[in-house]
Amino acid sequence: MGSLINTVGTRLLIEHFNTEFRGSRLRDIRNDPSASLPAGPPIKQYFKTNQNLDWLTNNMTHAHANTSAGNRCFLPPKHSDAGSPNAIARWRWFIQNPTLPGGLTTATQVALCNAIYVGLNDPSSLGTPFDRIEFDAVDASSPQQVLPAEEWDRNGVRYYKIVLVTPPIPQTTAAGRPKLDPQPGDP
């Protein structure tokens, strides 16, 4: 049974999100409108008003994302990793199929968007904005869930941590993710 969390592509996505939600990129998301919706509110507001990760992936663009196709903030650049050449296709399948076994459910997408919104808008326990949002993903035998928490690094800097917990994704021809390339744990 394959698991999205153990794939090279998942680690690529987490690394991308950890880059996207820090430093100048985080300021852009907090303050600037999407380049594709220039008359709209800052990108951060869409995590509250449109909680569909596929829509956010396709519509949130910014000049800082110039290595991604169409300057999409939440889609990493196409990579040449031989271990997972279809990482982006697999991510798209995961967020586009909330009702299929292994797809990221609508409830989990909403919970993830809510957690991101808190990290972008709410103050830390010190009353200051979070320095960054860090992401991780883990396998578990439990149902999908999102675990957000305020954390601090060894320098006392407050950041927001979001962990996505998912069970292994079934890989069958009837349901579950399509086998795009071999992954750890695949039969």
pLDDT per position as a tens digit, 24-46: 999 999 999 999 999 999 999 99
Distance CA 144, CA 121 (A): 24
pLDDT of residue 187: 47
Distance CA 3, CA 7 (A): 7
| Residue 144 reports pLDDT greater than 90 | yes
Distance CA 9, CA 94 (A): 12
| Residue 186 reports pLDDT greater than 70 | no
Q: What is the domain partition of the chain in residue ranges? A: 4-166
Distance CA 65, CA 137 (A): 23
Beta pairing, strands 158-166 & 145-152 = antiparallel
pLDDT of residue 76: 80
